[in-house]
Chain A
Amino acid sequence: MATIKIPPVLRASVGGEREVEADGADVGTVLHALAAQHPATQSQLFGADGELNRYVNVYLNDEDVRVLGGLQTNVGEGDTLVILPAMAGGER
């Protein structure tokens, strides 16, 4: 079971949770499990081609999964996935 940290802009899609747990042996499977639990996240995370949207960064612990094996990156028990869309707010 991996822990997924949900960014503020996606929390409404997961019932307000800040962290969600999901099962899977690799990053893609974990994120698809998240999308199965919370369907509103599907289009926010994945494009029509099934790849991660380019504006969403996903980190396995502290490393960008694109530097690792992308969606095929192995996820171990107790690993944390961080979903990170850009935030712009300086809030005037």
Chain B
Amino acid sequence: MPTGAEVIREVKGRIDEVDPGTVHADLESGNGNAPVLIDVRESDEFEAGHIPGARHVPRGHLESRIEGAAPDRSQRVVLYCASGNRSALAADTLERLLGYEHVESMTGGITLWKDRGYDVEVPRRLTKEQRERYSRHILIPEVGLEGQQKLLDAKVLLLGAGALGSPTSLYLTAAGVGTIGIVDNDVVDLSNLQRQVIHTTDRIGESKVESAQLTMKALNPDVDVRTFDLRLDASNIMEVLQSEDWDVVVDGLDNFPTRYLLNDASVRLRIPVVSAAILGFDGQLSVFEPYVGPCYRCLFPTPPPAELAPSCGANGVLGVLPGTMGMLSATEAIKLIIGKGDTLTGRLLLYDALAATFTELKVRRDPDCPICSRAPDDITDEEMGVFPDYEAFCAAAG
């Protein structure tokens, strides 16, 4: 039988190897030669420092996880380990057993890479408890440690601790979004509990933001909850939106005037907004990324007259509907944070719960939009949230 060293020599003889200098040049060049770079070492080695941009597929999980990291077998894949032995064996597996067409093993591994003075990224470490709590995220390549770290660093502002805000806040809390702000001036009412699942029967009469904070902290003590016990209006919106460096705002507001106000302020501050609305059995959802896609005013330039805008009084809603829409909102917020997938930017999703159908509509940027066709600094305080008087608006609805 051959010795281990002989097997490695033999494998190295039949696979392709590549010098760290070539890999470095190809990664830097941006000319399309950049390979998918895969670190095949163990988790503790990867976390102690890896090549920036490398994906982590430990050699022991190579066959089961490689397709998540490098789904296209014809693309160029470079593997590395500490010194070049494990990556050579892994390259052999990818080529011979899995049919990857263009695999190279980096000679000398990360040790030689470091000797050449190239950059190494040292990820911040999650605690042992965090590794376990978020293990199912870390296992998906699209999230992984890097995505989980982004979630832990992220700051999301939720407008409304009601029907839409309940599921959104629960799932963003569970996902480990590091800072969650929650804005609402209402108190918990018995009639809320059919759908506002973040609140509980024993908290009837208590402030919604306080009640939400209790549930969120109990679910995940990692999350820093900031409460804003106020009703958002023109006098406080800029202060609330600038109270932190919010990455995403999730809009579960219950009325048109504030939605227009939020739109104008978020365009001015360039904060993406995930926007959901519900009525009866129907839901609407979109993402408004300022200057990337359309804004709320591009989609709805004019609010409907009061008789077609049933947002003033109490309306019926199937309790699970805001659950569905709120969780779709949370999904969009997470995608915006980790930068993966296609968001609903430029698309409006309609959900008809009775028919069990989803309809997708295109939303275009309006070149004449009164707000987002202009530079953020040109939008004045006086112009923000310009809308018919709300009291009059609702009074007209009878």
Q: Known A-B contacts: A86-B304, A87-B279, A90-B254. Give 19 more (CB < 8 A).
A: A8-B281, A9-B308, A10-B308, A56-B304, A57-B300, A62-B362, A63-B362, A67-B362, A82-B350, A85-B309, A86-B277, A87-B278, A87-B282, A88-B311, A89-B279, A89-B311, A91-B279, A91-B317, A92-B186
| Cβ of B227 to closest chain A Cβ, rounded Å | 16
Which A residue's beta carbon lies closest to that of B348?
A: A84
| Cβ of B366 to closest chain A Cβ, rounded Å | 9
11 contacts between A and B (CB under 8 A): A8-B279, A8-B281, A8-B282, A55-B300, A55-B305, A82-B350, A90-B276, A90-B277, A91-B164, A91-B317, A92-B184
C-alpha spacing A59/B284, complex, angstroms: 15
CB of B254 within 8 A of CB of A89, answer yes
- CB contact under 8 A between A88 and B255, given known A57-B299, A62-B360: yes
| Cβ of A25 to closest chain B Cβ, rounded Å | 23
CB of A89 within 8 A of CB of B278, answer yes
| Cβ of A41 to closest chain B Cβ, rounded Å | 11
A residues in contact with B159, CB < 8 Å: 90
| Cβ of B386 to closest chain A Cβ, rounded Å | 15
CB of B253 within 8 A of CB of A88, answer yes
Q: A55's contact among B279, B282, B303, B352, by CB below 8 Å, is which?
A: B303
C-alpha spacing A21/B368, complex, angstroms: 34
Number of interface residues of B (CB under 8 A): 50
CB of A55 within 8 A of CB of B302, answer yes
Q: Which residues of B contact A (CB under 8 A)?
A: 159-160, 162-165, 184, 186, 192, 195, 251-256, 259, 276-282, 284, 299-305, 308-311, 315, 317, 322, 348, 350, 352, 354-355, 359-364
CB of B361 within 8 A of CB of A64, answer yes
Number of interface residues of A (CB under 8 A): 26
Q: Which residues of A contact B (CB under 8 A)?
A: 5, 7-10, 18, 44, 54-57, 59, 62-64, 67, 82, 84-92
A residues in contact with B254, CB < 8 Å: 88-92
Q: B317's contact among A57, A64, A84, A89, by CB below 8 Å, is which?
A: A89
- CB contact under 8 A between A5 and B359, given known A55-B302, A88-B259: yes
Which B residue's beta carbon lies closest to that of A5?
A: B359
CB of B163 within 8 A of CB of A18, answer no
Summed over the interface, the residue pairs from A and B with CB atoms below 8 Å come to a total of 111
A residues in contact with B281, CB < 8 Å: 8
CB of A89 within 8 A of CB of B186, answer no
CB of B278 within 8 A of CB of A64, answer no
Which B residue's beta carbon lies closest to that of A87?
A: B277
Which A residue's beta carbon lies closest to that of B159?
A: A90
| Cβ of B273 to closest chain A Cβ, rounded Å | 13
C-alpha spacing A8/B283, complex, angstroms: 10
Which A residue's beta carbon lies closest to that of B364?
A: A67
CB of B361 within 8 A of CB of A84, answer yes
A residues in contact with B302, CB < 8 Å: 54-55
C-alpha spacing A18/B251, complex, angstroms: 27
CB of B256 within 8 A of CB of A88, answer yes
Q: B164's contact among A55, A56, A82, A90, by CB below 8 Å, is which?
A: A90
Which B residue's beta carbon lies closest to that of A91?
A: B163
B residues in contact with A9, CB < 8 Å: 279, 304, 308-310
| Cβ of A75 to closest chain B Cβ, rounded Å | 16
A residues in contact with B311, CB < 8 Å: 87-89
| Cβ of A65 to closest chain B Cβ, rounded Å | 11
| Cβ of B134 to closest chain A Cβ, rounded Å | 29
B residues in contact with A18, CB < 8 Å: 352, 354-355
Which B residue's beta carbon lies closest to that of A92?
A: B162
A residues in contact with B253, CB < 8 Å: 88, 90
Q: B251's contact among A10, A54, A86, A90, by CB below 8 Å, is which?
A: A90
B residues in contact with A63, CB < 8 Å: 361-362
C-alpha spacing A55/B350, complex, angstroms: 17
CB of B277 within 8 A of CB of A88, answer yes
C-alpha spacing A90/B282, complex, angstroms: 12
C-alpha spacing A18/B359, complex, angstroms: 14
| Cβ of B188 to closest chain A Cβ, rounded Å | 11
